[in-house]
Structure 1
């Protein structure tokens, strides 16, 4: 009888008792000589048998079906199959008579009902071993992450400590990651810029090329750097040391949002989105007009702003960018605060700061109580899940919701401790701007600077007959 010798060892197989490919080949060759078996082909495969789809194993079965050989020689049944489908194929070929015999140096087989029964048990044991191993690995990972320890490969800036089995800060890479966050948070930086920065500082792919843009984006948006781990769709609090502040991380997220926000067009018109047409209520948009000068043989670009006329017919005519800028400067000057008031206002703000500091402790106490209540809810939710009252998906969804609330409360506590009142600082910034707005309006700013100034000065602007008029916010009216 002719046999096909099949050797397999998965590259991710950790069992040291399983022989290497070379060892299996040697053992099978010696076994065949001893048992006087004719081997027509040696098939070698380095792939897991946990799931169906092994190409070389499929070739062996095809050779058996075609009658090239009628027997298979392998080290052990678990080399042939560790899943029910492949095991079932072997049994089926025995049942229909295409496969006459199986030989194993480590396992007895006889093509009888009893022999096939024992083979089925061997395949079942192999599958049980794989399933149990996988379940133990998953259980171990979940145990680690629930205890605040990241169970897989550490992100850039950290390393896996093998002895303590913890995640520790890589102080060399920490500086690079922190600087990358700082550069990105400053604004006007792309994922390409960050990828190139990492590359210049020794962080690259295996082939030496810069990391992919998705890697840079994933790093900058990874909440692991602020102590929050997401594993298998659930959030957990990490015990690892963090080196990125919440403030820096939030700034980076805002910049990511700007990059991912759909672009409005090729040209960034400074005053788009600020002004509406008073006649019809439609938005004012910008456009470029080209003009050719025959005498000098040149073309010049001029920016005009006009009504989009998307709501109804409108008779308003375009206005030049320069004339629009001139009117914005005049409006800015008209709402600026006299500099002689500055000292008195600063004194009033100092008094408000003292009053606000009294209530900060009360606010923190209230939030800490809310934090305690959320922890109690999370514990009750876990109890319900463990008792089987709550389904897995419901538990996961509700847990993530409560965890997000908890993170928000923690952020509020941190913000109040570091910033105090949430309104006082913006108010101070506004008064500082109001005192200096006259200087800004007189300076030779760019259109973009004036556009930002216009957002501070008025909540809405209306254009009619090429004349600009603001509608000031209630806060500014109160001044």
Structure 2
């Protein structure tokens, strides 16, 4: 049987923790040999902080398109294969038989509902969609902002760096000396009143200031720079002004002088645009165009077809009616109370290999820790016996203790992974139970986040909604009970 092999490592941290490409290849090739698979193609992706993306995954998709006789795919486990639901859907189109070797799972079109459901849960865990729903990611970034560290890409004049603060690695920003003088000059030129935005834009481009992607600077970029408090030491994050820990490029006095000059031009204040929470979520059920939104009589919000292909006759819907109908879609995601207990057991059994792996890694790391401790004990005796000098003793002891600290951190990560993977699956189910009540409690932006998680697509036709749910919510939307899909 001909098969394709796929391996991926996404960070240096995973490389260190046993997920390395060689380790994956060894496991997969041994599996192929035992199960009489002939590997006809290998696709390997190595991602780093500087190089993201999955070039070879996309090439694998093209390979399956061109080679319709090859329908077996071998991969270590779920989170090595999928990064998002698009990956999931793309592979499903090829009617593949996927062997997830470390999870002892074989998935195909003929797989039972309970297998597909558990697999869908794993995909959710691999992507960590639970973070989006609980807003933990946003909370983490906001906490980082409150601590004074800018939690995003560095603005022009700065670059991103990694700092070690009290043993904790923090991503921060530092002054880019090759560009910061241009930024400072931009503020000075505008403050003196003799240069307009267009002239300053021309100056910045002549000096070689470029965007992060290497493009020339536009006037709008200069305007944004001149309005950004990050250059005097503070920054705004989610509408809140935070005191930064980074070094400023200009003084606060110069920044305020520039703002004063903006005010002297009596520029009209920017009209606050209304945020249409559900724009981009729906498509027209008649012509397939996007559904857009507008305010009528300065208070009523309507969603309607863009009519990009010409008027199709589809009717508009008021936002409050749309919210109600979208809520009905959320409310369709039902799960029988008895199923949660069964899924807890199924997840537990399904991840025995995962637990054994982490326990094994903890054992190996503990052995390394104990070995270093024996060295420390021995060299202490050697120092007392004057076999080694105090200087050499101190040097080696510090080195080995530093290695021990790193080992303890790795042990802790494996212990957490051992528990978190299982708990996350259960949490997804628990959230599914109360998804509708959460939807009702959220503001419109929060409602949109929930809809983004559960819906793959949704069309509007004559005031009615026709959803396509993401996996595994498509199964839950059917209101499946234990008797309907329980294996056996």
- Higher relative contact order structure (alpha carbons within 8 Å, sequence separation ≥ 6): 2
TM-score past 0.5 threshold: no
Question: Radius of gyration: which is bigger?
Answer: 1
Q: Calculate the TM-score normalised by the size of structure 1.
A: 0.41
Q: Calculate the TM-score normalised by the size of structure 2.
A: 0.40
